């Protein structure tokens, strides 16, 4: 297998973009990544696009072809374009497919993108679309919602480990602070623990400020074989590992309610592939669709012992400048969560951090970064490790 590098990246602004369409935002991200890479679009050998639910959000399937067409890569060029779906992990999966295409030698210059346009439907319709990531026949039919499933994880975490609502809230407070320094973030306002605890209850113990928002956004990046990456950029960022794992579709079938075994398995595979340990990671973007999800993630990825993720966050060890900065972008909570785009956005954030391009939220001396992208309540997880050094 060949080594692979990221040579260009782009995030659109994240937020409620009522003046811009699905195709507008994904083309902006794709063209931006190509510009950043210095290649020209016709040199692409393939495209992989993460998208969870174009069918429900914008009544559009056949996303791969649409994007190739509106990016100007269909006319005469007929560049192959593949849509990849794994609920909220669609972006992470698209990246992994793109890396495998380059690593195998089958394709050289490849785009990995992600997109979701979620605000063209009511928030009730958006919630119903998201609920399809759970088990429709055995969770959804009983009145389960996504906040409800993660609330059951939170309730169990509190019961087993004494995690508090204040510790959950500290995740949101930290991520809003990071988001306030990220120009693309949906929410740039800083919040307090009291703001979170006094916000409306969605699914006990999760308040609305424990939940990531509904977001429009797109992200894209360009991959090249590591051997030729320097032809395009002075700062290629190398893919040291890309790993994926599956678990039961329903939360109720998990071995342990508070552990996402798919995250543990994908993390373990990624560490093995990169020949690294958690101590080698300088920053990590984790899948904080709810505050409890960030606490589980830092435990499952080995940054802290199971049960101590809440305390670690409350103690400031996951802040920028702390032991392991988590979600410098603002995470899904503050940067926003356009579900198909999130996995790619995380990789764009880590790439910019490793290049040293992250301005006020820069992690000093960042050499190695990780991304962690989850589908549903944990049925799919993707973990990637990126490095400045090959």
Catalytic residues: 88, 337
Show Cβ contacts of residue 97 under 8 Å, excluding neighbours closer than 6 positions. Answer: 48, 82, 84, 112
Q: Can you tell me whether residue 321 is helix, strand or coil?
A: coil
Separation CA 110–CA 310 (nearest Å): 39
Residue 6 or 206: the one with the smaller Cβ distance to another protein is 206
Q: Identify the CA nearest to 242 among candidates 108, 45, 95, 33.
A: 95
Separation CA 220–CA 50 (nearest Å): 10
Interface with another protein (CB under 8 A): 124-125, 127-128, 131, 135-145, 147-148, 151-156, 159, 200-206, 250-253, 257
Minimum separation from the CB atom of position 217 to another protein (A) = 23
Separation CA 9–CA 160 (nearest Å): 41
Residue 100 or 128: the one with the smaller Cβ distance to another protein is 128
Residue 1 or 200: the one with the smaller Cβ distance to another protein is 200
φ, ψ of residue 373 in degrees (nearest 5): -125, 130
Half-sphere exposure of 228 (CA within 13 A, CB side): 13
Residue 357 per-residue DSSP state = -
Contact between 290 and 150 under an 8 Å Cβ cutoff? The reply is yes
CA dihedral 160, 165, 171, 177 (to 10 degrees): -170
Minimum separation from the CB atom of position 142 to another protein (A) = 5
Minimum separation from the CB atom of position 83 to another protein (A) = 25
Minimum separation from the CB atom of position 156 to another protein (A) = 4
Q: Is the bond leading into 205 cis (omega within 30 degrees of zero)?
A: yes
Residue 140 or 322: the one with the smaller Cβ distance to another protein is 140
Residue 147 or 343: the one with the smaller Cβ distance to another protein is 147
């Amino acid at each position: 297998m060949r080594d692979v590098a990221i040579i260009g990246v782009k995030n659109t602004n994240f937020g409620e973009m009522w003046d811009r369409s699905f195709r507008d935002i994904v083309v902006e991200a794709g063209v931006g990544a190509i510009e950043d890479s210095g290649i020209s679009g016709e040199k692409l050998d393939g495209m992989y696009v993460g998208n969870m639910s174009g069918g429900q959000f914008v009544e559009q399937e056949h996303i791969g072809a649409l994007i190739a067409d509106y990016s100007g890569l269909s006319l005469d060029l007929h560049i192959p374009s593949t849509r990849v779906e794994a609920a909220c992990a669609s972006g992470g999966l698209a990246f992994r497919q793109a890396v495998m295409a380059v690593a195998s030698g089958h394709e050289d210059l490849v785009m990995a993108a992600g997109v979701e346009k979620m605000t063209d439907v009511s928030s009730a319709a958006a919630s119903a679309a998201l609920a399809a990531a759970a088990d429709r026949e055995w969770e959804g039919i009983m009145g389960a919602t996504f906040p409800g499933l993660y609330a059951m994880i939170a309730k169990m975490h509190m019961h087993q480990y004494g995690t508090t609502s204040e510790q959950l809230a500290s995740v949101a407070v930290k991520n809003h602070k990071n988001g306030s320094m990220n120009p693309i973030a949906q929410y740039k306002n800083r919040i307090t623990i009291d703001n979170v605890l006094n916000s409306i209850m969605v699914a006990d113990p999760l308040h609305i400020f424990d939940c990531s928002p509904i977001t429009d956004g797109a992200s894209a990046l360009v991959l090249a074989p590591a051997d030729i990456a320097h032809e395009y950029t002075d700062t290629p960022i190398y893919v040291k590992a890309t790993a994926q794992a599956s678990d039961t579709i329903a939360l109720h079938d998990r071995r342990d309610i508070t552990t996402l075994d798919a995250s543990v398995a994908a993390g373990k595979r990624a560490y093995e592939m990169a020949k690294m340990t958690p101590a080698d990671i300088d920053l990590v973007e984790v899948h904080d669709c709810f505050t409890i999800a960030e606490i589980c993630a830092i435990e499952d990825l080995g940054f802290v012992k199971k049960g101590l993720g809440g305390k670690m966050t409350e103690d400031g060890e996951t802040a920028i400048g702390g032991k392991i900065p988590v979600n410098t972008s603002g995470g899904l909570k503050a940067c926003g969560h356009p579900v198909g785009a999130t996995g790619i956005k995380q990789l764009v954030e880590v790439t910019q951090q490793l290049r040293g391009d992250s301005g006020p939220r820069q992690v000093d001396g960042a050499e190695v970064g990780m991304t962690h992208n989850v589908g549903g309540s944990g049925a799919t997880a993707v973990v990637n490790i990126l490095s400045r050094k090959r």
